[in-house]
Structure 1
Amino acid sequence: MDDQRCPCGSGDVLGGCCGPLLAGAPAPTAERLMRSRYTAFALGDVAHLLATWHPSTRPRSLDVDPGLEWRRLVIVDRSAGGPFDREGIVEFEAFWTHGGERGSQRERSRFVREERRWLYVDGETT
């Protein structure tokens, strides 16, 4: 599986892109964390989603719909979120299919960096 294209759309293979982050490596930027979270949704990796969610907003549990197929990720905008920032914002649009239906989710997500680890705080759908 590590030699398949990464679902985040970077063009790299999973093992050279989001795979190490899903295995616990810290993301260097807010955007990289957001891409790994998209990949986790695409692969159904609930453990990664919960582990990268800030404790102040993290749900106790999370269910992902196995019938929902995440098809493509587009980064719309980003603000801060670099290796030396404490906060960052990443706006994205994620395209999905479910049965014969298609759609997308556009969100402006907030991230914070604590103890050298980026964490997802919350997002506002647009």
Structure 2
Amino acid sequence: MKKIIHTDEAPEAVGAYSQATTNGSLVFTAGQIPLTPDGELLDDEPIDVQARQCLDNLTAVLAEAGAEMSDVLKVSVFLDDIDDFAEMNDTYATYFDDEPPARSAVEVGSLPKGVGVEIEAIASVE
């Protein structure tokens, strides 16, 4: 059975989607952009700042679902410019322990609201 996950500690969904959904075993997050919970868009900030906000948002959504970053099985990272990969990766690495999840990182044509990065995750919850 699907359950909708919502927290005020991450930005509100701005369309026809949920912050995350779960079936009680897995949680699927929506892509998180560098938007603060109070609505400030960090699109002009360096990619490390943008990535940190995305990952902070993911952390909050996962917490609401009863998961932690250590429960993440797979991450997808969408970059506006693949040349930002190394800087994003340095920030990303600080959120995961010695056993990081599987990950894809790709350059895309453009991202919502002109941001430089969007990050989504799949985690285990039990």
Aligning the two structures, in what range does the TM-score lie when normalised by the shorter sequence? Answer: 0.3 to 0.5
* Larger proportion of strand: 1
* Larger proportion of helix: 2
Relative contact order, CA 8 A, sep 6+: which one is greater?
A: 2
TM-score scaled by structure 2? 0.35
